[in-house]
Amino acid sequence: MAKIVIEKSPPLKGTVRVNGAKNSVLPILAAALLSQEKCVLEDIPTLKDVEVIGELLSSIGARVKSDVKLGCIEVDGSSIHHYEAPYELVRKMRASFLVMGPLLARKGKARISLPGGCAIGTRPIDLHLKGFHALGAEINVGHGYVEAKADRLIGNKIYLDFPSVGATENIMMAATMAEGLTVIQNAAEEPEIVDLANFLNGLGAKIKGAGTDTIKIEGVKELGGTRHMIIPDRIEAGTYMIAAAITGGDVLIENVLSDHLKPTIAKLRECGVEIEENSDSIRVIAKNGIISTDIKTLPYPGFPTDMQAQFMTLLSVAKGTSVVIETVFENRFMHVAELKRMGANIKIEGRSAVVQGVESLQGTQVKATDLRAGAALILAGMAAEGTTEIGDVYHIDRGYVNIENKLSALGAKIKRVE
Ligand SMILES: CC(=O)N[C@H]1[C@@H](OP(=O)(O)OP(=O)(O)OC[C@H]2O[C@@H](n3ccc(=O)[nH]c3=O)[C@H](O)[C@@H]2O)O[C@H](CO)[C@@H](O)[C@@H]1O
Ligand SMILES: C=C(OP(=O)(O)O)C(=O)O
């Protein structure tokens, strides 16, 4: 099993480029199933999750060609003949459930394995199903699978009890070819929702309001092909911003939309980190040590839950006490036990963690319990005395392209050992 081994890093220096966003490319690849023609996606990150969704689309009958050198994927959905996402693929990646909306719209039926929980929470799919039901689908759950059927989908008004990213995406995709108008209220407003809506509109869909809490979708008869560039990954960018901050470095992060990073930028500034925002890059300069601050995760434009673990690592070596409140997932503190093994002083009280900054962390053997917990441990390893060895790195490979190469190019002492 591969491990990542890290020694305490000098201040990081140089330039790093961020890849296309994992959380955009996954729903957009699922959405390509809606099209009768070819879709070409650009700035595709070479991630395990992208491979898995590619396998899923192929198993449904789409022709998927990827050009790793050019960072492109072409999906031809004209020949889809199947309507099932089996347990083996959904188990590997929850986002597989996002093919349900497109399959319902395209084939009138879908059978998808129930995703189940994961290390960060139970993650139900009730809001996705509430949306499909409101569009006229008959839903049956049994034997670990959800089956949805509809001779035709009919537009409706759907209020989401929570602005779920996945439910907003799945319902938006299903509604593109429904009869009449669908209105999603209390919709998620994440940049990845806007990217998906832009892609769908490129196929000929009629979607308005993506990026606000009310999305209106006027159904069309069919969708064609398009070429689309995936937006930069704001979580990958945020992770490199913290890498620069925790090592006291000076790093230019390229291919970034700073508008998508407002909460991370604001909180880093509160910690005393200097940040220069340019049109498509951000420079992070950390000369004066880190000051404590409080964070509370919220749906966009609030502080992203996907940055909570990495930010907590930074706060664990800050001067003073910080409080971190996780409101999006009920169990997203798995990294705390590992950080504590590295000498962090953190106490959990329900959904809050009280972080008392320590002078320094100490390297030891730890394991990645999920994707961002793994990223948090890499950051901790760069700030820790001695050697840190991270196991279960397959979690990290779900969401970061060549993280050890990108960090070592900035001067970090990090390597992967098989
Ligand atoms: C592939 C992808 O884009 N993943 C992101 C997406 O996950 P995902 O789309 O799964 O996250 P959601 O926004 O749906 O989940 C947020 C909260 O809503 C709850 N919920 C969700 C759906 C539902 O039907 N019922 C329900 O109760 C979840 O359990 C969770 O507590 O958004 C999350 C929140 O920003 C991010 O952490 C993930 O990185
Ligand atoms: C939780 C995440 O992803 P997923 O929804 O794919 O598990 C993440 O990207 O941090």
The full DSSP string for 284-303 is EE--S--B---EEB-STTSB
What is the pLDDT tens value at each position of the chain, 418 positions in all? 899 999 999 999 999 999 999 999 999 999 999 999 999 999 999 999 999 999 999 999 999 999 988 899 999 999 899 999 989 999 989 999 999 999 999 999 999 999 877 888 889 999 999 999 999 999 999 999 999 999 999 999 999 999 999 999 999 999 999 999 999 999 999 999 999 999 999 999 999 999 999 999 999 999 999 999 999 999 999 999 999 999 999 999 999 999 999 999 999 999 999 999 999 999 999 999 999 999 999 999 999 999 999 999 999 999 999 999 999 999 899 999 999 999 999 999 999 999 999 999 999 999 999 999 999 999 999 999 999 999 999 999 999 999 999 999 999 999 999 8
Note the ligand closest to the C-alpha atom of 131.
1
> Phi/psi of residue 135, each to 5°?
-85, 0
Number of domains in the chain: 2
Does residue 264 sit in the same domain as residue 379? yes
Contact between 290 and 319 (Cβ < 8 Å): yes
Q: Which residues are annotated as a binding site?
A: 22-23, 94, 123-127, 306, 328
- What pLDDT is attached to residue 295? 98
Three-state DSSP at 166 gives helix
Does residue 58 sit in the same domain as residue 200? yes
Last-in-domain residue among 187, 210, 229 = 229
- What pLDDT is attached to residue 299? 98
Contact between 242 and 263 (Cβ < 8 Å): no
Does residue 96 sit in the same domain as residue 244? no
Atom number, ligand 2, closest to the C-alpha of residue 399:
9
Last-in-domain residue among 229, 252, 281 = 229
Does residue 89 sit in the same domain as residue 139? yes
- Select from 297, 328, 370, 396 the residue to mutate for testing ligand 1; criterion: most ligand atoms less than 8 Å from CB: 328
306 CA to middle of ligand 2, Å? 7
Does residue 212 sit in the same domain as residue 326? no
Last-in-domain residue among 172, 203, 229 = 229
Q: How far is CA 317 from CA 291, 322, 377, 416, in A?
A: 9, 10, 13, 25
Dig out the tokens for 159 from the structure.
Answer: 């209020």
Over its C-alpha atoms, the chain yields an Rg (Å, rounded) of 21
306 lines ligand 1 (CB under 6 A): yes
Contact between 357 and 292 (Cβ < 8 Å): yes
47 lines ligand 1 (CB under 6 A): no
- Which of these, 339, 379, 333, 342, lies nearest to 363 by C-alpha position? 342
CA 336, 338, 341, 344 dihedral sign is: negative
Does residue 392 sit in the same domain as residue 248? yes
**What CATH number does the domain containing 70 carry?**
3.65.10.10
Does residue 58 sit in the same domain as residue 105? yes
Range of the domain at 153: 22-229
- What pLDDT is attached to residue 120? 87
Residue ranges in 204-352 assigned as alpha helix (H): 234-246, 262-270, 308-315, 334-341
Dig out the tokens for 313 from the structure.
Answer: 């690592």
User: What distance in Å separates the CA atoms of residue 175 and residue 173, rounded to the nearest whole number?
Assistant: 5
Return the residue whose CA atom lies nearest to atom 1 of ligand 2.
306
- What pLDDT is attached to residue 116? 73
Does residue 217 sit in the same domain as residue 304? no
Does residue 351 sit in the same domain as residue 329? yes
User: What distance in Å separates the CA atoms of residue 167 and residue 173, rounded to the nearest whole number?
Assistant: 10
